[in-house]
Amino acid sequence: MSGHSKWATTKHKKALIDSKRGKVFTRLSKEISIAARLGGGDPDGNPRLRTAIAKAREENMPMDNIKKAIQKGTGEIPGAVYEELQYEGHGPKGVAILLKVTTDNKNRTIPEIRSLFSKNGGALGENGCVAWMFDQKGLITTPASGVTEDRLMEIAINAGAEDVRLDDDVFEVTTAPEDFPAVCDAMRAAGLVLPYAEVTMIPQTTVPLEGKEAQAMVRLMEALEDHDDVQHVYANFDISRETLESLSQNG
């Protein structure tokens, strides 16, 4: 799990530095619209929509944008109809990569994704080739400096979390997907800062990478994440936090 968490938190910091608000808002709007289309426009009765709205507000997305995205999803106002797709492939040293894509034209998206893999040292695979290597879980991080392990265990486990563990200077809290909103709410109510909180795909095992392989992996991850239709990229590599931060900062 640690490799995934390190990438996720490093990526989050990099996104704040790069201030790619346009792309962030576009992806959040797509997620809100799909959540509203599948589960209705009331966040109280739609956990996926409630989570998407919470993330949008954390990114300072204007409420008007959020409302329009919901209305597009429910059909109250016209908008593109998005389809959710999953792609799978491999990166350097056989690293497993799982993509969640939202598109209104899959005939355009598929060849573009295949090209990104091939140009950056990877290979797009068949459906099912790596998905079995991941488990869907809620993953939440909080700085270890802000809470003791005993206190965090009390807060998180009582709210429905499955596990709490220390990784470097952060605690990682894992949950079942259905318990994720309640655990987030409990941690925030206790005054904890949550730098990363998402329902994600956590790899069962990881592949350690160093040097050129680590550099190639980061280049492939960033190329995939920069594609407008890609919502999430999951992979089972493990690169040290220091190496990740260095590679991300140096482009």
pLDDT in tens, 181-208: 899 999 999 999 888 888 889 899 999 9
* pLDDT tens-digit readout, 114-144: 999 999 999 999 999 999 999 999 999 999 9
Contact yes or no for 247/214 (Cβ under 8 A)? yes
110: which 2 tokens? 């598929």
> How much is the average pLDDT of 46-68?
88
- pLDDT category, 248, cuts 50, 70, 90? low
Fold of 83-132+205-250: Alpha-Beta Plaits (3.30.70)
Query: DSSP string covering the chain, please?
Result: -HHHHHHHHHHHHHHHHHT-HHHHHHHHHHHHHHHHHHH-S-GGG-HHHHHHHHHHHHTT--HHHHHHHHHHHHTSS-----EEEEEEEE-GGG-EEEEEEEES-HHHHHHHHHHHHHHTT-EE--TTSSGGGEEEEEEEEEEGGGS-HHHHHHHHHHHT-SEEEEETTEEEEEE-GGGHHHHHHHHHHTT---SEEEEEEEESS-EE--HHHHHHHHHHHHHHHTSTTEEEEEE-EE--HHHHHHHHHH-
Residue 227 has pLDDT above 60, yes or no: yes
Task: Tell me if 2-74 shares its fold with 83-132+205-250.
Answer: no
Per CATH, the homologous superfamily of domain 134-203 is YebC, transcriptional regulation domain (3.30.70.980)
Contact 174, 202 (CB under 8 A): yes
* CATH class assigned to 2-74: mainly alpha
Quick one: pLDDT at residue 108?
93
User: CA angle 50-143-134, nearest 5°?
Assistant: 60
Q: pLDDT at position 4, please? A: 58
- List, for residues 4-56, the tens digit of each pLDDT value: 556 665 555 454 434 455 677 888 898 899 899 889 999 888 888 988 898 88
Residues contacting 44, CB < 8 A, separation 6+: 50
Give residue 81's pLDDT. 78
What is the widest separation between alpha-carbon atoms in the chain? Answer: 51
Query: What's this model's pTM, rounded to 2 decimal places?
Result: 0.77
Domain ranges of the chain: 2-74, 83-132+205-250, 134-203
First-last CA distance in the chain: 24
